[in-house]
Chains A and B, each alone.
Chain A
Amino acid sequence: MHLMYFTERPYRDVPEEEVIRNRSFFGVPNRFYDPEVGARLYNEYLDEACYAEEVGFDGIMLNEHHGTPFCMGAVMNVEAAILARITKKARIVLLGNPLPVVKNPVRLAEELAEIDLISKGRLVPGWVRGAGSEQIFNQANPAYNREYFNEAHDLVMACWTRPGPFRWEGKHFNFRYVNPWVLPYQKPRPPIWIPGVISAETVVWCAKHRYPYVGLGTALQSTVELWNLYGQTAAEEGYQAGTENFGYLQQIHLAETEEQAQEQGKAALFGGGAANFSRPEWTLPPGYNSKEATRRLARQATDYGFLGITSEKLKESQSGEVRHIGLPRDKKDTRARLRSGQISIEEAKRKIYGNYQKAQDGLQIIIGTPKTVIPKLKLIMEVLRPGILGLFQAQGPLTTEQRLTSIRLMGQEVLPAMREIARGLGIVDPFEREPGSRPHISGTSYEPLVDLEALKRAPTRDESVRV
Chain B
Amino acid sequence: MAEWTEEITHVAGTDLAIIKGGQGKPLLILHEELGHPGWMSYHQALAKDRTLVIPIQPGMGKSPRVEQIRTVHELGLFYLWALRELNLGPIDVLGFSFGGWTAAEMASADSKAFRKMVLVAPPGIKPPDGDIMDIFAVTIGTQLNATIYDAEETPEFRKLYGGERTPEQFEAFEEARTETARIAWDPILHNPSLPYFLQGVRGLPTRIIWGREDAVVPVSAAEAYRQALANTDVQVTIFEHCGHRPEIEKGPEFVKLVREFLA
Residue-wise interface mask of A (93-104) relative to B, using a CB-CB cutoff of 8 A (1 in contact, 0 not): 000000000000
Find out whether the CB atom of A295 lies under 8 angstroms from the CB atom of B171. yes
Query: A141 CA to B183 CA in the complex, in Å?
Result: 9
Q: A285-B136, A298-B167 given as contacts; is B141 within 8 A of A322 (CB)?
A: yes
Find out whether the CB atom of B171 lies under 8 angstroms from the CB atom of A294. yes
- List CB contacts (< 8 Å) of B143-198 with chain A: 143-145, 148-152, 157-158, 165, 167-168, 170-171, 174-175, 177-182, 185-186
Find out whether the CB atom of A285 lies under 8 angstroms from the CB atom of B145. no
Find out whether the CB atom of B140 lies under 8 angstroms from the CB atom of A141. no
Find out whether the CB atom of A320 lies under 8 angstroms from the CB atom of B137. no
Q: How far is the CB of A374 from chain B (nearest CB, A)?
A: 43
- List CB contacts (< 8 Å) of A321-339 with chain B: 321-329, 332
Residues of B within 8 A of A318 (CB): 139-141, 165, 170
Query: A320 CA to B142 CA in the complex, in Å?
Result: 6
**Closest residue on chain A to residue B170 by CB atoms:** A298
Query: A141 CA to B182 CA in the complex, in Å?
Result: 7
Find out whether the CB atom of A281 lies under 8 angstroms from the CB atom of B181. no
Residues of A within 8 A of B144 (CB): 320, 322
Which of these, A139, A141, A286, A325, contacts B151 with CB under 8 Å? A325
Residues of A within 8 A of B141 (CB): 316, 318-323
Q: How far is the CB of B83 from chain A (nearest CB, A)?
A: 26
**Closest residue on chain B to residue A136 by CB atoms:** B137
Residues of B within 8 A of A142 (CB): 136, 178, 181, 185
Residues of A within 8 A of B142 (CB): 281, 320-321
Query: A329 CA to B249 CA in the complex, in Å?
Result: 14
Which of these, A287, A317, A322, A328, contacts B181 with CB under 8 Å? A287
- List CB contacts (< 8 Å) of B95-136 with chain A: 136
A143 part of interface (Cβ distance < 8 Å)? yes
A291 part of interface (Cβ distance < 8 Å)? yes
Which of these, B138, B145, B150, contacts A281 with CB under 8 Å? B138
Query: A317 CA to B170 CA in the complex, in Å?
Result: 10
Residues of B within 8 A of A295 (CB): 167, 171
Find out whether the CB atom of B145 lies under 8 angstroms from the CB atom of A324. yes
Residue-wise interface mask of B (208-228) relative to A, using a CB-CB cutoff of 8 A (1 in contact, 0 not): 000000000000000000000
Find out whether the CB atom of A286 lies under 8 angstroms from the CB atom of B136. yes
**Closest residue on chain B to residue A331 by CB atoms:** B152
Residue-wise interface mask of A (333-365) relative to B, using a CB-CB cutoff of 8 A (1 in contact, 0 not): 000000000000000000000000000000000
Find out whether the CB atom of B137 lies under 8 angstroms from the CB atom of A141. no
Residues of B within 8 A of A317 (CB): 139-140
Find out whether the CB atom of A286 lies under 8 angstroms from the CB atom of B139. no
Which of these, A143, A282, A320, A329, contacts B143 with CB under 8 Å? A320
Query: A144 CA to B65 CA in the complex, in Å?
Result: 13
Residues of B within 8 A of A329 (CB): 149-150
Find out whether the CB atom of A281 lies under 8 angstroms from the CB atom of B137. yes
Find out whether the CB atom of A143 lies under 8 angstroms from the CB atom of B171. no
**Closest residue on chain B to residue A280 by CB atoms:** B139
**Closest residue on chain B to residue A316 by CB atoms:** B139
Residues of A within 8 A of B179 (CB): 143
**Closest residue on chain B to residue A323 by CB atoms:** B141
Q: A136-B137, A285-B136 given as contacts; is B170 within 8 A of A291 (CB)?
A: no
Find out whether the CB atom of A143 lies under 8 angstroms from the CB atom of B178. yes
Q: How far is the CB of B70 from chain A (nearest CB, A)?
A: 9
A299 part of interface (Cβ distance < 8 Å)? yes
Which of these, A294, A323, A327, contacts B152 with CB under 8 Å? A327
Residues of B within 8 A of A327 (CB): 151-152
Q: How far is the CB of A87 from chain B (nearest CB, A)?
A: 39
Query: A328 CA to B179 CA in the complex, in Å?
Result: 31
**Closest residue on chain A to residue B164 by CB atoms:** A322
Q: How far is the CB of A123 from chain B (nearest CB, A)?
A: 32
Residues of B within 8 A of A316 (CB): 139, 141
Find out whether the CB atom of A299 lies under 8 angstroms from the CB atom of B182. no
- List CB contacts (< 8 Å) of A93-149 with chain B: 136, 139, 141-144
Known: A319-B141, A329-B149. 16 other contacts (CB 8 A): A139-B186, A141-B185, A143-B179, A280-B139, A281-B137, A285-B181, A286-B136, A287-B181, A287-B182, A295-B167, A316-B139, A318-B139, A318-B140, A318-B165, A322-B141, A328-B150
Q: 28 pairs across A/B with beta carbons < 8 Å?
A: A139-B186, A141-B181, A141-B186, A143-B182, A144-B182, A285-B136, A285-B181, A286-B174, A286-B180, A286-B181, A287-B181, A291-B171, A294-B175, A298-B170, A298-B171, A316-B139, A316-B141, A317-B139, A317-B140, A320-B140, A320-B143, A321-B139, A321-B141, A325-B151, A325-B157, A328-B151, A328-B152, A332-B145
